Amino acid sequence: MIEQELHQHPFSLLDETARSRLRDGVDLAYFEAGDIILDASSASEYVYVVHKGSVAELDVQAPDGREQVGVYAAGDVFGAISVLNGKSRYRFRAEQQSLCYLIPAALFLTLCEDNADFGRHFQQRLVEKGQRLAERREGGVTMAGFMLARVDACMREPLIMATTATLHDAVVALKQHGVDSVLIEHQAQYAIITKTDLLTALVLQHHDASTALSVVAETRLITVSPSDYLFSALTRMTRHKVARVVVMEERKAVGVVELTDVLSFFSSRSYVVGLEIEKADSLDALQLASARLPELVDALMAQGVKMRFAMELLAALNGRVMGKAWEMVMPADQLQGCLIVMGSEGRGEQILKTDQDNGLILGDHQAWPGLPRDAERFTQALLSMGYPPCPGKVMVNNPDWQGPVQQWQERVYHWAGEAAGKGVLNLTILADAHCVAGDRRLLEAVRETLFDRCSGDDLLMAHFARPVLQFATPLNLFGSLKKPQHGIDIKKGALFPLVHGVRAMALQHRIAETSTLRRLKKLVAAGAMEASFAEDLGEAMELFSELRLNQQLAQWHGQQTELQDNHIVVQSLSSLERDLLRDALHLVGDFKQRLSRRFHLEY
Partner 1 sequence: MIRQLRRYADRYRHGAGPYGHLFMPCEGDEVIALDCETTGLDSREAELVSVAAVPVRQGRVASSECLDVKLQAPRSLDGDSIRIHRLRPVDLEEGCQVQDALEQLLEKIGNRPLVGWCIDFDVAMINRYLRPLMGFDLPNPVIELSALYQKKQRHWQPDITPDLRFEAMAKALQVPVMERHTARGDAVTAGLMYLQLQKSTLDS
Contacts with partner 1 by CB under 8 A lie at: 1, 3, 24-33, 51-52, 97, 99, 102, 104
DSSP 332-385: GGGTTSEEEE-HHHHHT---S-----EEEEE-TT---TTHHHHHHHHHHHHHHT
Q: Which residues contact 116 (CB under 8 A, 6 or more apart)?
A: none
Angle at 44 between CA 38 and CA 47, to 5 degrees: 90
CA within 13 Å, CB half, 309:
8
Closest distance to partner 1 from the beta carbon of 295 (Å): 44
Of 192, 303, 187, 172, which is closest to residue 257 (Cα–Cα)?
192
Q: How far apart are CA 333 and CA 66, in angstroms?
A: 57
Question: What is the nearest approach in angstroms of partner 1 to the Cβ of residue 4?
Answer: 9
For partner 1, the closer CB: 44 or 270: 44
N- to C-terminal Cα separation, the chain: 52
Instruction: Rank residues 48 and 464 by Cβ distance to partner 1 and give the closer one.
Output: 48
Question: Is residue 3 within 8 Å of residue 89, measured between CB atoms?
Answer: no
In angstroms, give the least distance from the CB of 21 to partner 1.
10
The residue (of 354 and 575) whose beta carbon lies closer to partner 1 is 575
Find residue 160's DSSP bridge partners: 183
Give 102 or 233: the residue with its C-beta nearer to partner 1.
Answer: 102
Measured from the CB atom, the residue of 251 and 483 that comes closer to partner 1 is: 483
**50 φ, ψ to 5°?**
-75, 125
Angstrom distance (rounded) from CA 210 to CA 199: 14
Listed residue (258, 261, 256, 288) closest to 275, CA to CA: 288
Give least dist CB 75 to partner 1, A: 13
Complex with partner 1: residue 102 or 498, whichever CB lies closer: 102
Comparing CB distances to partner 1, the nearer of 106 and 316 is 106
The rounded distance, in Å, linking the Cα atoms of 374 and 367 is 13
422-431 helix and 458-465 helix, angle to the nearest 10 degrees: 80
CB of 39 to partner 1, least distance (A): 16
